[in-house]
Amino acid sequence: MSERITTRGRSFRAWRFWAAVSLLASGCAGPFPDDIFDVTAPRPSSPRAENAAVDPISTSLSTADGEVFLERGRRVHAVRDRSTRVDVSGRERELVHLHYEDRGLTAEALVGEGAIVRVEGILNSDLPDYFAREGLRPIRSLMPSIGLWLVEDMSGGDGLDVASRLVPRLSLHAPGIRHAMPDLHFRRRLFEGPFTPNDPRFSGQWFWKDLKMEEAWGLTKGDPSTTIVVIDSGCDMTHVDLVGKMDPGKDAIDGDDDPSYNPASSDSAHGTACAGLVAASTDNGEGIAGGCPECRIRCVRLVESNAMVPLSADVDAFNFALETGAAVVSNSWGFADPIPVPQALEDAINNVFDTGRGGLGALVLFAAGNDDREIANDELLAVRGVLGIGAINSFESETPFTNSGDSVDLVVQTGTLSTDITGLGGYADTDYTSNFGGTSSACPVAAGIAGLLVSAGPSKTSAELYDVLIKTARPAPYAVPDAMGHDAVFGYGIIDPVNALHDVLGIMDPPDAGADAGSPPPPPPPPDDGPEAEAGCDCTAAGSGGGSGALLALAGAWALAWRGRRRWSERNRPSGGASA
């Protein structure tokens, strides 16, 4: 079998697939490489699968390489640097170097005074006494619905002291603390990209045209009861195209109710651009159109100029989405280092997915990122309740920056034209920008579409809507799907809002709807630099089977990949059950 394809070799691999199909259809016999139809190769284990249960914790963890705490069942060594750096609030904190020994990965963080613990099996009324027996003092609850607390050491130690001290006392089964992690301050990054069209306003929003959003808006424009939370760098709350759509938000960094952007931050305009793509005021004779015209927006400020932000702020952001009944949560950010997702954040995200929106669950979308690398199966995008969104261009080909991997679920066009900070100080000197792009812009485009689906099917669970988005996606023309219909760059295909809304609303597509109804598109032409046709192929040789045989061969070859894509329901997809 051939070596697994890379993002750079994808167009060539697609050419080989379609070249072979064409040769079969015309009666050419080969020979072909053994792997040219390698669409049934087994894919790696699903990133959505839950981690295996950890055995009872050993008390003999070595601390020769620094203090040790457990994170998602793995040992993490933390070596104190004995130097300090300033955190996002301007406070000096100690720097630590983290080593994830099973990944060979190192990262930097700042140590907070608290630790994040998850407590199960203990009544709230008994928690103060329980914490006191463990030498802990509760600072505040982070997500009380699943027992996440921020605690501090009664003896004056910091969060790393607490987490390492609790290692031998963790338990999977007995009432008490399930896991403990220092409230580390990690650096985050926003996923901006280089794609820059220069078209004005709605006529320049080519991505909406490509997605046939005008037809989708004819089915639903969303509903004011559907709220989309944008977790990002904060928003321009007074922008003329947003001010009428905003509900109260949160600043998870400063801990207040003002989610406005920080004018001194270099990424101050990012959240405003995301909010505009999600649900800017539409059909108001002003500016641009948003993906879900009637949906409401709540902004949360979490990310700022590569600053070190405490993990507890992430949990606060998702708890805000949970408590305000968000239907969709849009995230165009990630950790600066490719670290495994912290357990507390994974628990918080899955809880929003499972129990948000009054128990029906919320759709949580994350941008795939713009590093042109493969995403590991324990990173943020691989969380069970996350829908990973990659980016494509106007030709439905991969962008040169989008990340790839098993946890990329869907792709969508980059939303390059959006709202900007009013006046000066944003991406442009006007109130709008055509300088947005990357997976940062693809994610809010997808989030707006997700808002339309929730509005059309308000009684459907997050898992059901997740399934709809996957099974109604259009095949990406340059994808080479595996047996489950998944491609590392293009996921399960391109989001198709019209087809998805038809599914939710129970509208039958006409028999001749073709590709618009989710049928496979015609084969793309081979790239200009593709290999020449094999010399000596007699395409009119006897025994070719005639025109009908050629059509059957063509249909059969494509059906192999198409059938795999439709087998999404057999995949270990998210469930609507309780968070594990």
The torsion of the CA quartet 396, 398, 399, 402, rounded to 10 degrees, works out to 130
Does 216 share its domain with 155? no
Rounded-to-5 percentages of helix, strand, coil across the chain? 30, 20, 50
Give the SS3 label for residue 305.
coil
The torsion of the CA quartet 299, 304, 306, 309, rounded to 10 degrees, works out to -80
* E runs forming strands in 405-547: 410-413, 418-419, 432-433
Q: Is residue 370 part of a domain?
A: yes
Does 438 share its domain with 489? yes
Does 452 share its domain with 476? yes
Does 274 share its domain with 350? yes
Q: Read off the pLDDT of residues 524-577 as tens digits, 9 standing for 90 and up.
A: 444 433 322 223 333 323 333 334 444 434 444 443 333 333 323 333 444 433
Question: Does the pTM exceed 0.75?
Answer: no
Total domains present in the chain: 2
Q: Distance between CA atoms of 5 and 482, rounded to whole angstroms?
A: 12
Bridge-based pairing state of the strands 148-153 and 114-120: antiparallel
Residue 222 has pLDDT above 60, yes or no: yes
Does 177 share its domain with 193? no
| 215 pLDDT tier (thresholds 50, 70, 90) | confident
Helices (H), 330-479: 343-355, 438-456, 462-471
For tokens 């600043």, the residue is: 251
Tokens of 547: 């025109």
Q: Is residue 24 part of a domain?
A: no
Does 159 share its domain with 272? no
CATH at residue 474: 3.40.50.200
Which pLDDT value is given to residue 191?
59
Which pLDDT value is given to residue 86?
86
By residue range, what is the domain housing residue 169? 67-183
Which pLDDT value is given to residue 155?
92
Which pLDDT value is given to residue 194?
36
Does 87 share its domain with 232? no
Domain end call among 134, 162, 183: 183
